[in-house]
Each structure stands twice: as structure tokens, then as C-alpha cells.
Amino acid sequence: MYVRRHRGHTYLYQVDYGEETSVARIIVRSDAAGTEGLFLVKQDGSLEPADDRSGFGSNTLRHDGLWPTPPREAVRDAVVIARQKAHTAEYQ
């Protein structure tokens, strides 16, 4: 779990295996927002916001609804998972 403070709020980032193929998840929670955010992390480290997935939503603490970008360490850990998932998928 990674923690980041942004504009007076605390955000928690959890790297997760997820159900998607060849990508990892970073789930974002806030000290005040009522929903959770989701980023999908690809093998090359690129991030794709996925707030539109069931169970996730936009950041109610910001007028644009965006979640703050995850810390580099969280992205690095997610890349390792995404690469492992892609490698495993090759052999199935």
C-alpha cells in the first residue's frame, strides 16, 4: 500500500493483480471520497484510468473527477505484475 497526500487529502494506492489479462490494477482510495478509483497499468508502465468499470468511480474531491497519479513505486510494482501476467498468458 502506498500513501500520497494531495491538496489536503490522503490517497491510498493498492497494487492488485486484477482479473484483466496482461495488465495490473492500482486501486485508489481517499480519506474523503465516497468511491474508489482504478488505474490499469500496462507492461510498459503506461497508465489507463478505468473509473468507468463496475465498482469504481470518479474522484468527487476534484472538479474534473480525476484521481491523482499513483506514486512511481506503485507503478513499478504493477509493471512487474503486468509482465508476469503477460508471460503466463503466453504459455496457456
**pLDDT tens-place string over residues 33-79:** 789 999 999 999 999 999 899 999 999 999 999 999 999 999 999 99
62 contacts: CB under 8 Å, gap ≥ 6? 7
Query: Does the pLDDT value for residue 92 go beyond 60?
Result: no
Entry pTM: 0.91
| Element housing 60 (H / E) | none
Averaged over 22-27, what is the pLDDT? 96
Q: Which domain holds residue 28?
A: 2-90
Q: Quick one: pLDDT at residue 89?
A: 61
Tell me the pLDDT band of 90, cut-offs 50, 70 and 90. Answer: low
70 contacts: CB under 8 Å, gap ≥ 6? 2, 4, 13, 26, 28, 39, 47, 78
DSSP state of 86: H
Q: Quick one: pLDDT at residue 21?
A: 85
Tell me the pLDDT band of 7, cut-offs 50, 70 and 90. Answer: confident
Q: Quick one: pLDDT at residue 86?
A: 83
Q: Are 73 and 2 contacting, i.e. CB atoms less than 8 angstroms apart? A: yes
Beta bridge partners of 52: none
For 84, 89, 90, 92, the CA distances from 28, given in Å and listed in that order, are 22, 26, 29, 31
Domain count, the chain: 1
